[in-house]
C-alpha cells in the first residue's frame, strides 16, 4: 500500500514537471518575422495645393529624402504636373494610384451639340476626339457621317484630368478662365511674364510634356521662350484678340544661331532652325489635343521642306500643314495668320471639364 502511494506521488511529480516545461515553451517570446525591407520607386504627379511636406506625410517619408531623390535645390518650389520619384515599401502603394509618369486621367462620356457650320472635321479639331471615335460612339454617324443637323447631340468619349482646375469658358476670343493655373518655367522653356501665363490643366501639361521632350532630344539647345497664355481669370488681353480662356499660347521659334537669339525674332531661311522647330510642332500635333497652330505662310514652307526631308508624303502632310495648298486652305491644323513670323501660336482643344467652351 505504501509502495502504491509512493508510485502515485512520483507519477504526479513527473506529470507536473512535464506540464511546466510545456507551459514555459508556450510562454517564451516568439521570434518576430523578418521585416520586409524591399523598396520600390513610384512616380507622383504634383497636384494643385501640394507641397513637399504634404507629399512626404502622405507616403510616410522625409521631405529631405524627396529632395535628395529628385535633386531638388529648393523644396519650396515645385510645380503642378511636375513628376517626383518616391521610394516606398514594396506593395504599399498601388501603381495606378501613384501615377504612371503622366497626370491622372479619367475617361468619360460628354455631350456635344452640333452648331451651325460644324463638320466632323471641325468637331474633331475642336474637341480632340478623332473622326473614327466620333463615328464609333454615335450610330447616327455610321450611316450618314456627312449629314449633321444643327442641334443634334453627339456623344464624345474624352479624357479629363482627375482633380484638375483651370476651367476654360466660352470662346478663345470672347471667354474667361476660372481657377487659372500659372505655367512656370521648366525643362526646354522659359516663361516671359508670369502674370500673363495662366492656362488650364490640359494646356499647361501639354506645353510642359512637349517642351520636356524637346529638351531631352536636344539637351544643349536653347530654351523656347513662352509668350502670353491668359491672365489668371482670362478675358481680354491686350494686344491679342484671343488668349481669353486659357487655351492659347505664343511660343518663340528656335534660331540656327542661338547666340544672337533674343526670343521673338522674325524668321527666314537664313536663321530658322527647321529641324528643331518641326520636331516640336510635330510633338504638339501628335497629342491630338491641338485645335490650331498659327504660323506665317513663308515659315510654313521651311517646315514643309523639313517634313518632306524626313520622308513625309503630301497626303500625310495635308491635314497637318497648310503649305503648299494656299492661305485659304482651311483643312490643316497648322495655318497662316498675320503676325506669326516671329513666333507660333498654339490653340488647344476644350477639355471635358471646361464650361460652354467653344
208 touches 201 (CB < 8 A): no
State the cell numbers at 42. Answer: 513610384
CA–CA dist 228, 81 (Å, integer): 19
pLDDT tens for the chain, residues 1 to 358 = 555 555 555 555 454 444 444 443 444 444 444 444 567 788 888 887 788 888 888 888 888 888 888 878 777 788 887 888 888 776 555 443 333 333 444 556 667 788 888 888 888 766 667 788 888 888 888 877 778 888 888 887 765 444 446 788 899 999 999 888 888 888 889 999 999 999 988 898 899 889 888 988 898 898 999 999 999 889 999 999 999 999 999 999 999 987 655 688 899 999 999 999 999 999 999 989 999 999 999 999 999 999 999 999 999 999 999 999 999 888 899 999 999 999 999 999 987 767 778 8
Give the pLDDT score at 23: 44
End-to-end CA distance of the chain: 110
343 touches 264 (CB < 8 A): yes
CA–CA dist 307, 219 (Å, integer): 22
Give the pLDDT score at 262: 62
Q: How many helices (H) and strands (E) does the chain have?
A: 11, 14
Looking at the chain, how many residues does it have? 358
State the cell numbers at 53. Answer: 511636406
Give the pLDDT score at 60: 80
pLDDT in tens, 242-296: 999 999 999 999 999 876 556 888 999 999 999 999 999 999 999 899 999 999 9
Pairing of strands 334-335, 290-294: parallel
Give the pLDDT score at 139: 86
pTM of the model: 0.59
Question: Who's near 238: CB < 8 A, 6+ residues apart?
Answer: none
Residue 322 Cα to chain centre, angstroms? 27
State the cell numbers at 207. Answer: 506645353
CA–CA dist 239, 30 (Å, integer): 77
Q: Please give the domain boundaries of the chain with CATH numbers for all domains.
A: 39-98 (3.10.350.10), 105-161 (3.10.350.10), 167-348 (3.30.1380.10)
Q: Which of 285, 277, 265 is nearest to 343 (CA)?
A: 265
Amino acid at each position: 500500500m505504501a509502495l502504491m502511494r509512493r508510485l502515485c506521488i512520483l507519477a504526479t511529480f513527473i506529470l507536473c514537471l512535464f506540464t511546466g516545461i510545456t507551459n514555459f515553451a508556450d510562454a517564451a517570446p516568439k521570434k518576430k518575422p523578418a521585416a520586409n525591407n524591399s523598396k520600390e520607386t513610384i512616380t507622383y504627379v504634383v497636384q494643385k495645393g501640394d507641397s513637399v511636406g504634404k507629399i512626404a506625410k502622405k507616403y510616410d517619408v522625409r521631405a529631405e529624402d524627396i529632395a535628395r531623390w529628385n535633386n531638388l535645390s529648393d523644396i519650396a518650389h515645385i510645380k503642378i504636373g511636375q513628376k517626383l520619384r518616391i521610394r516606398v515599401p514594396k506593395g504599399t502603394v498601388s501603381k495606378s494610384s501613384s501615377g504612371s509618369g503622366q497626370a491622372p486621367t479619367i475617361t468619360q462620356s460628354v455631350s456635344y451639340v452640333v452648331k451651325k457650320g460644324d463638320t466632323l472635321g471641325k468637331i474633331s479639331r475642336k474637341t480632340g476626339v478623332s473622326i473614327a471615335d466620333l463615328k464609333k460612339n454615335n450610330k447616327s454617324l455610321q450611316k450618314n457621317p456627312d449629314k449633321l443637323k444643327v442641334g443634334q447631340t453627339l456623344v464624345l468619349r474624352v479624357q479629363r484630368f482627375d482633380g484638375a482646375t483651370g476651367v476654360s469658358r466660352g470662346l478663345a476670343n470672347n471667354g474667361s478662365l476660372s481657377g487659372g493655373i500659372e505655367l512656370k518655367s521648366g525643362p526646354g522653356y522659359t516663361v516671359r511674364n508670369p502674370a500673363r501665363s495662366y492656362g488650364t490643366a490640359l494646356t499647361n501639361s501639354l506645353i510642359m510634356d512637349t517642351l520636356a521632350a524637346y529638351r531631352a532630344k536636344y539637351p544643349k539647345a536653347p530654351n523656347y521662350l513662352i509668350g502670353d497664355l491668359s491672365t489668371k481669370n482670362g478675358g481680354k488681353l491686350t494686344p491679342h484678340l484671343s488668349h481669353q480662356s486659357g487655351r492659347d499660347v505664343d511660343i518663340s521659334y528656335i534660331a540656327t544661331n542661338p547666340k544672337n537669339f533674343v526670343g521673338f525674332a522674325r524668321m527666314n531661311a537664313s536663321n530658322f532652325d527647321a529641324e528643331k522647330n518641326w520636331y516640336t510642332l510635330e510633338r504638339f500635333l501628335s497629342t491630338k489635343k491641338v485645335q490650331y497652330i498659327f504660323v506665317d505662310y513663308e515659315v510654313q514652307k521651311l517646315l514643309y521642306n523639313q517634313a518632306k526631308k524626313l520622308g513625309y508624303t503630301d497626303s500625310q502632310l495635308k491635314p497637318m500643314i497648310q503649305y503648299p495648298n494656299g492661305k485659304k486652305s482651311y483643312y490643316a491644323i497648322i495655318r497662316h495668320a498675320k503676325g506669326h513670323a516671329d513666333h507660333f501660336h498654339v490653340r488647344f482643344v476644350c477639355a471635358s471639364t471646361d464650361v460652354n467652351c467653344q
